[in-house]
Amino acid sequence: MNKIKDKSEKIKFSRILSFGFGSWNLFVALILALGISSLLFAISLLQAANPYDSSLIEVAIAKGASTAMVQQILKDSQVIKQHSSFAFAAKVLGISKRIQAGKYAFSPSQPLIIILLKLKKGEIVSPEQVPVTFPEGSSIYKMGEILKKNQVGNGLKFQSLAKNGIKEDLRNRHWEVFKYIPSESLEGYLYPDTYLLLKDTSNEVVVERMLNRFEEQVLPFWRTAAQETKYNLHEILTLASIIEKEAQKPEDRAIISSVYHNRLKIYMPLESCPTIKYALNDPTPKVYLEQLKVKSPYNTYLNYGLPPGPICNPGIKSIKAAVYPAKTKYLFFVAKSDGSHIFSETWAEHQKARAEVRK
């Protein structure tokens, strides 16, 4: 009788033990699944629609808009990805019912978590404040036009900064930048980017903001790069501004830079059409033969070497290309209809390339 009881108890313990191990495996699997899900969720919060697009996009969220509606608005504005976990994240983080109405300025480069927190905190754009974007390669004249279009500051007076923008107090406040400038023009030093500006912002404040951004974006790079080029910052910005105007494709920047470096080495005119446009009072979309004779220090067809200063305000990528050109023997290039270029080492090759482009 005792033997039967012992055997029964062993079977019972074995079943309990078996059940325990099964439950433990299930528990471990559940924990792993939750861990992986949490990791994927965390990754989704750090993802941006486009990490390389720092432009600001205005988005209006109506009062009473549902999470689904807000998600669709953000998708349509390309602020979040089409398959974003916005609605799920808003629910999990308890933000769904705390989204505040108003006009926001989001960037596609902002992670999802930043967008969610802005909506929760109600970080709306002030009614008087507008995002103003100055594209890379904008001249001061063009920047003035952009300000006028956005009804910010005084666009007409802003354009005069191309000739006499550097006053003594401004030079003293930004001496690390202006010690390189032999002129009073701000051309080349107003960093192209998107700025949130009040409608009544003065030109002086706009300039200060752009110079501060220049110091943030360019000077850290230049402190190292200065040791690797024989040109000073003003000359590099001048060359970068020409590269910015010529290069329609990012991959062409360093190669175009190499063409100009190669020409400068052999004292060959740069012959850049954008410099002609900058020299003309009333430039045309296309440069004509007669315009190549314009008397100006910016005419790189008549004058050797670099022009006196930048012809636009270049971005950091063109500045880097000016310091670090590709290693080539090219002396010529011609633009194709798609914005790319054909590069040549000899005049004969260049003529063939020009004929090919004209077909």
Q: Mind listing the pLDDT tens digit for each residue in 158-208?
A: 888 767 767 777 778 888 888 777 777 889 999 999 999 988 888 888 988
Same domain as 232, residue 195: no
Query: How many of the other CB atoms lie within 10 Å of CB of 337?
Result: 6
pLDDT greater than 50 at residue 19: no
For the segment 42-62, what is each residue's pLDDT rounded down to a tens digit?
A: 676 778 889 888 888 888 888
Assess contact for 188 and 238: CB atoms under 8 A: yes
Mean pLDDT of the chain: 85
Burial class of residue 269, CB neighbours in 10 A (0-12, 13-18, 19+)? middle
Q: Is residue 187 assigned to a domain? A: yes
Quick one: pLDDT at residue 124?
85
Same domain as 346, residue 231: yes
For the segment 243-282, what is each residue's pLDDT rounded down to a tens digit?
A: 999 999 999 999 999 999 999 999 999 999 999 999 998 8
Q: Report the candidate in 296, 297, 188, 298 with the shortest Cα–Cα distance to residue 241.
A: 188
Query: How many of the other CB atoms lie within 10 Å of CB of 152?
Result: 23
The backbone torsions φ and ψ at residue 263, rounded to the nearest 5 degrees and listed phi first, read -70, -40
Same domain as 146, residue 117: no
Lookup result for tokens 């904008």: 138
**What is the span of the domain harbouring residue 232?**
221-358
Quick one: pLDDT at residue 21?
47
Same domain as 342, residue 239: yes
Quick one: pLDDT at residue 85?
82
In this structure, which amino acid lies at residue 354? R
Looking at the 3D structure of the chain, how many domains does it have? 3
Q: How large is the average pLDDT for residues 273-292?
A: 90
Q: Is residue 346 assigned to a domain? A: yes
Q: Is residue 49 assigned to a domain? A: no
